[in-house]
Amino acid sequence: MIEVDHLTKVFNGRKAVDGISFTVQKGEILGFLGPNGAGKTTTMRILTCYMPASDGTARVAGYDVFDDSIEVRRRIGYLPENPPLYPEMTVASYLHFVAKIKGAPSSARRKSTVDDVMQKCSIGDVRNRIIGKLSKGYKQRVGLAQALLNNPEVLILDEPTIGLDPKQIHDVRSLIKSLAGDHTVILSTHILPEVSMTCNRVVIIHNGKVVAMDTPTGLTNQMKGAEKVALSVNGPRPAVIEKLQAIEGVLGVKVEGEGDGGASNYIVECKLQTDLRGILAREIVSQGWDLLELRGVSMSLEDVFINLVTQE
């Protein structure tokens, strides 16, 4: 449904997007993650025909975003981080206006379409309210409603739950999950639990490059165990910390409180794909300290994300 091949965008000599490639299958929900400035929004703007790429190609539903931009636009719904709302209009009049722009063929059809998306996005109770007087959460949901008006094959959402309260976030997540199968969704977010709960696959982008791509479970399975090691050591705490931090490949040591028999518990963070458990055990025992526990700790998606974007 979406094919991105060596996509590049250059601004003033700097590559905001640097040769990224990925695909999204029909009916899939793809989480698009990265720190601020990573190139997520630029990629989304290229996919929605808002700006051209400097190099590479992108196709949506078989249509090139540069050569066939009108066909692409007919097949996508887009919710940017700041929804494109007219604050002086009522919710209903705004959605009727957008439905007309998107080609709903008759007033009866437009009314049916607008009523349907208002129900999906839970904004029927504010249909006659002026948009400018709505809360941030309601404005966000009106923005999501306009993205759904043309029943798009592809839905591109940039931070769709920003500014929502916990119940609204739950409702929007449920709505996005319900769209899978009938719609292909790219979801950009900084809320990592949202990705685990909603997305089938994840693309992590950093400095304009794809640094990881897999299912949320696959990412954590690939990197669990060796990158975080839990230790319980009976020895002088300052000396233990100093010795552990001196081992090549150790990124940091955190004290996790007291263990049994006066021992201290530690979490040792290591470079990705580096198994230091044997070295840690030998170094501790060589100092004459009692090693009471050593085990790998499974990484969360947040741990994976932070390690991937900070390991350099």
pLDDT digits (tens, 9 = 90+) for 8-37: 999 988 999 999 999 999 999 999 988 888
Task: Report the distance separating Cα 73 and Cα 62, nearest Å.
Answer: 12
CA distance to 50, 192, 205, per residue, from 196 (Å): 29, 7, 17
Task: Report the distance separating Cα 286 and Cα 271, nearest Å.
Answer: 23
CA angle 110, 114, 118 (to 5 degrees): 175
Residue 22 corresponds to which amino acid?
Answer: F
Query: What is the C-alpha end-to-end distance of the chain, expressed in Å?
Result: 33
Q: Is CATH 3.90.1150.10 the right assignment for the domain spanning 221-310?
A: no
- Range list for CATH 3.40.50.300 in the chain: 2-215
- Range list for CATH 3.30.70.1340 in the chain: 221-310
User: Are 117 and 95 spatial neighbours (Cβ–Cβ below 8 Å)?
Assistant: yes
Each of the 312 residues of the chain gets a pLDDT tens digit; together they read: 899 999 999 998 899 999 999 999 999 999 998 888 888 889 999 999 999 999 999 999 899 999 999 999 999 999 988 888 999 999 999 999 999 888 766 677 788 889 999 998 889 999 999 999 998 888 988 998 999 998 899 999 988 887 778 887 887 888 888 888 888 999 988 777 778 888 889 999 998 999 888 888 777 766 554 478 899 999 999 999 999 999 998 988 999 888 767 899 999 988 766 788 899 999 999 999 999 999 887 667 777 777 777 654
Supply 212's token pair.
């990881």
Pick one of 3.90.1200.10, 3.40.50.300, 1.10.10.60, 3.40.50.920 as the CATH number of 2-215: 3.40.50.300
Place of tokens 């306009």: 146
- H/E segment holding residue 223: helix 216-223
Locate all alpha helices (DSSP H) within 76-182, ordered by sequence.
91-101, 107-120, 136-148, 166-179
Report phi then psi at 304, rounded to 5: -60, -50
User: What contacts 283, CB < 8 A, 6 or more positions away?
Assistant: 243, 244, 247
